[in-house]
Amino acid sequence: MHDLFTEVWESVRRNRLRTILTGFAVAWGIFMIIVLLGAGNGLMGAFNQGGRDFASNTMMMGGGWTTKPYDGLKEGRRVRLDMSDMERLDKEPFAQYVDDVTTTHTQGGFTMTYGRRYYTNVSLCGTFPSYSDMNKIQIVAGRFINEKDINERRKVIVLSNLMAQNFLNGGNNFRDLLGKRVKVGNFSFQVIGIRKGDESSDDRDLYVPYSTIKTIFALDNRIDQMTFTFHGLNTEEENEAFEKELKASVNTAHRAAPDDESATWIWNRFTQNLQMEKGSRILHTALWIIGLFTLLGGIVGVSNIMLITVKERTHEFGIRKAIGASPWNIMKLIVAESVTITAFFGYIGMALGMLACTLMDKTLGQSEMEVFDQSIRLLVNPTVGMDVALEATLVLIIAGTLAGLAPARKAARVRPIEALRDE
Amino acid sequence: MQIELHNVHKTYEGAQPLHVLKGVNLSIEKGEFVSIMGASGSGKSTLLNILGILDNYDEGEYFVDGQLIKNLSERSAARYRNKMLGFVFQSFNLISFKTAVENVELPLFYQGVGRKRRHDMAMEYLERLGLKEWAGHYPNEMSGGQKQRVAIARALITHPQIILADEPTGALDSKTSVEVMELLGQLNREEKVTIIVVTHESGVANCTNRIIHIKDGVIGNIEENSRHNASAFGTTTVMK
Ligand SMILES: Nc1ncnc2c1ncn2[C@@H]1O[C@H](COP(=O)(O)OP(=O)(O)OP(=O)(O)O)[C@@H](O)[C@H]1O
Ligand SMILES: [Mg+2]
């Protein structure tokens, strides 16, 4: 091994400029692969950032407008879900898949006051205990709404830690706020929990029991939408079948055609994620292919200089063969040189690529865009992991071998007699 | 018989095929010191290359130690060259970017000998040939005679049974030529190595014990020369 590398080093040293120029193409190829994959990861991260806070196996269902006449009614009628639809999910054939069912009712535009401090434009969200799990609400002090709150229609409230901080004059001891009363509009609520906020507009949502809100605002049985978690639906087909059946059932109950696509809508986070994953895989593959084609240029370059090297060293290989080098000995020399050049410059490219990814993370990755009152990061963590580095290493070694193979075979075939003949 | 050729033919294919060897029959015994002489283009180098398994022949048979050497794979040819044969060329054929000692080491490298041992052995051979101080020098820093001695050291280091030398003195002046021929003669006497020298210089041929003349692609007369008086130019000098 040591001897092999000594030979390779000698040969590379004799052709320094040419090696560097070719190596540059290889470095560039790998650099592109790393940067493309990093940017791709960042992009997918940005797409996914909205989804990361939710249980992935949830569906949301709501009413829409009919587009077909049915049961003696004309099309264009508004459909609104009600409590009976939530109960429907607790019965077969849906109950076997459905776990928790919740709904929320949000009413906005309130001002919340605590002592002399206040918050404007907050929303009251009436909801159920399982909302917390479904939406991965993190409680930092106290608790979320429970069954008892619902049953007794308690006037209790959960707010975000950022609001709590404001109310506590910037203090962090959220427990101090538990049990205290805050005023939202004209209603007084007791604080039972502080949740972790994320500085998004959702922070202004204050959670209260659904039953409480229903009473306060005198809501009837109709609901805006219902959200439920489910299990046992693992493929897109199974999900589609389930959705179709549920729609048909709900539609008929509201005197809409069972196959009316617009009478009710279902939004399925699980299949959405499946599709996102598929998209992410396709993007990943596409980026690899683009990168590999860029690298191909470098590989062709390496192959080319190896051919020139072989031509220049024909006489030397003839000497080596005359003193006992086997074809394999000669081949090894060329392949090792090719792999060394490819791997060396590949690693430089990889290091620079990772550096570029880090820079990308520090600049673009931190910039945010305001879209519909939501701040969205363009790239989230646009870097590549160890797995890509390992894959790239493998690619380099394979590429180097391939680049060296044809020249190496040519070298191995050198007939000593022809190589030694004096011109 | 260590080396035996029966009716060996060699034709160089080309636009105009050239039938160079037209049925060579030759026997050389172990430990002989022979020269092959002939006019330029008579096929001396061609014959030597066949003996050295550097080239193929078309017809006939070539035996080394009773072993038929014909259509060998490159791998086994490499093994023979490495273990049995040593080459000395007119143009030295040292590797220019390797020092003298590295050049001498190379055959051992292909035998798989370790680095340290290889180096020590190469130094020993260089010392024997009086080139110890030149071990670290590159070929282009050495004179023709020194280079040829390095080449001889390289040929000797694997203890070959046969040394094939194609015009080993062709690029040397007469004084160095004598030295090189004396060195080969000494090796032949002391180590019982079979040495075959191709030359067209009668003085060089006179240093050997048997002179084989090649003419028109076949072996002509063979002179016994154990008293080294074949040369018209005297017995002690190698005339150019
Ligand atoms: N590879 C080759 N292809 C075609 N013809 C060749 C080849 N090698 C040698 N010849 C021809 O074969 C003939 C014999 O060549 P060879 O080299 O054996 O001669 P030689 O006796 O060694 O001559 P010299 O004393 O000049 O070295 C020459 O006419 C030469 O031109
Ligand atoms: Mg010749």
Complex ipTM: 0.91
Q: Which of A316, A325, A417 sits opposite B78 (nearest CB)?
A: A325
Residue A370: per-residue pLDDT: 64
Q: Measured between alpha carbons, how far is A404 from B3 in angstroms, rounded to an integer?
A: 40
Q: Measured between alpha carbons, how far is A281 from A44 in angstroms, rounded to an integer?
A: 10
A316 contacts on B by Cβ (under 8 Å): 95-96
Are A189 and A156 spatial neighbours (Cβ–Cβ below 8 Å)?
yes
Instruction: Inform me whether the pLDDT recorded for B45 exceeds 70.
Output: yes
A414 contacts on B by Cβ (under 8 Å): none
- Tens of pLDDT, residue by residue over A143-191, are 999 989 889 989 999 988 888 888 888 777 888 888 888 888 888 999 9
Are A213 and A124 spatial neighbours (Cβ–Cβ below 8 Å)?
yes
Average of per-residue pLDDT across A102-107? 85
List of residues 6+ apart from A169 with CB closer than 8 A: none
Q: Please indicate if any CB of chain B lies within 8 Å of the CB of A321.
A: yes
Give residue B28 CA to ligand 1 midpoint distance, Å: 23
If pLDDT is split at 50, 70 and 90, which confidence band does A209 have? very high
Average of per-residue pLDDT across A258-273? 86
Token readout for A19 is 């090696």
| A93: preceding bond cis by omega (within 30 degrees) | yes
- B209 or A45: which carries more pLDDT confidence? B209
Query: pTM of this prediction?
Result: 0.73
Average of per-residue pLDDT across A354-367? 83
Mapped onto helix, strand or coil, the DSSP state of residue A228 is strand
Q: Measured between alpha carbons, how far is A144 from A129 in angstroms, rounded to an integer?
A: 7
Residues forming a β-bridge with A205:
A123
Interface test with B, best of A1, A12, A323, A421 (most B CBs within 10 A): A323
Q: Which has the closest alpha carbon to A54: A276, A258, A241?
A: A276
B34 found inside a domain: yes
Q: Measured between alpha carbons, how far is A419 from B32 in angstroms, rounded to an integer?
A: 29
Instruction: Inform me whether the pLDDT recorded for A261 exceeds 70.
Output: yes
A422/B91 CB distance under 8 A: yes
Q: Which of B82, B96, B97 sits opposite A324 (nearest CB)?
A: B82
B14 found inside a domain: no
The one-character DSSP state at A10 is H
Are A223 and A82 spatial neighbours (Cβ–Cβ below 8 Å)?
yes
B240 found inside a domain: no
CB-CB neighbours of A92 under 10 Å: 7
Residue B171: per-residue pLDDT: 84
Decide: residue B224, CB within 10 A, 0-12 exposed, 13-18 middle, 19+ buried: exposed
A323 contacts on B by Cβ (under 8 Å): 81-82, 87, 106-107, 110, 154
B237 found inside a domain: no
The one-character DSSP state at A126 is E
Residue B129: per-residue pLDDT: 87
Q: Which has the closest alpha carbon to A392: A336, A337, A354?
A: A354
Mapped onto helix, strand or coil, the DSSP state of residue B73 is coil
Average of per-residue pLDDT across A253-260? 86
Instruction: Inform me whether the pLDDT recorded for B239 exceeds 70.
Output: no
Are A358 and A352 spatial neighbours (Cβ–Cβ below 8 Å)?
no
B74/A10 CB distance under 8 A: no
Average of per-residue pLDDT across A100-117? 85
Are A193 and A55 spatial neighbours (Cβ–Cβ below 8 Å)?
no
If pLDDT is split at 50, 70 and 90, which confidence band does B235 have? very low
Q: Which of B8, B9, B11, B12 to mutate to test the pocket of ligand 1 (most atoms within 8 A of CB)?
A: B12
Q: What is the mean pLDDT of chain B?
A: 90
Instruction: Inform me whether the pLDDT recorded for A218 exceeds 90.
Output: no
CB-ligand 1 contact for B14 (6 Å cutoff): yes
B93/A319 CB distance under 8 A: yes
Count of domains for chain B: 1
Instruction: Inform me whether the pLDDT recorded for B92 exceeds 60.
Output: yes
Instruction: Inform me whether the pLDDT recorded for B240 exceeds 60.
Output: no
Average of per-residue pLDDT across A285-313? 88
Token readout for A363 is 């600049």
Q: What is the mean pLDDT of chain A?
A: 85
Mean pLDDT is lowest, of A170-174, A358-362, B6-10, B213-217, for A170-174
CB-ligand 1 contact for B49 (6 Å cutoff): no
Are A295 and A26 spatial neighbours (Cβ–Cβ below 8 Å)?
yes
For residue B2, give how far its alpha carbon lies from the nearest alpha carbon of chain A (Å).
20
Average of per-residue pLDDT across A294-314? 89
B24 found inside a domain: no
Average of per-residue pLDDT across A62-83? 86
Are A153 and A147 spatial neighbours (Cβ–Cβ below 8 Å)?
no
Q: What is the CATH number of the domain that holds B174?
A: 3.40.50.300
Instruction: Inform me whether the pLDDT recorded for A55 exceeds 80.
Output: no
CB-ligand 1 contact for B38 (6 Å cutoff): yes
Q: Which of A323, A324, A417 sits opposite B55 (nearest CB)?
A: A417
Mean pLDDT is lowest, of A192-206, A316-330, A332-346, for A192-206
Mean pLDDT is lowest, of A223-237, A249-263, A379-393, B190-204, for A379-393
Instruction: Inform me whether the pLDDT recorded for A216 exceeds 90.
Output: no
Question: What percent of chain A stands above pLDDT 70?
Answer: 95
A10 contacts on B by Cβ (under 8 Å): 97
Mapped onto helix, strand or coil, the DSSP state of residue A110 is strand
* Residue nearest to ligand 1 atom 9, measured at CA: B46
Domain that holds residue B114: 29-53+73-224
If pLDDT is split at 50, 70 and 90, which confidence band does A278 have? confident
Residue A132: per-residue pLDDT: 83
* Residue nearest to ligand 1 atom 5, measured at CA: B12
| A88: Cα within 13 Å, side-chain hemisphere | 19
Residue A382: per-residue pLDDT: 78
Q: Which has the closest alpha carbon to A174: A156, A191, A150, A154?
A: A191
Q: How open is the CA angle B215-B65-B205, to the nearest 5 degrees?
A: 35
Q: Please indicate if any CB of chain B lies within 8 Å of the CB of A417.
A: yes
Are A339 and A408 spatial neighbours (Cβ–Cβ below 8 Å)?
no
- A359 or A201: which carries more pLDDT confidence? A359
Residue B165: per-residue pLDDT: 94
- Tens of pLDDT, residue by residue over B21-38, are 999 999 999 999 999 999
Q: How open is the CA angle B21-A416-B78, to the nearest 5 degrees?
A: 100
Residues forming a β-bridge with B214:
B219
Instruction: Inform me whether the pLDDT recorded for B234 exceeds 60.
Output: no
Residue B116 φ/ψ, nearest 5 degrees: -65, -50
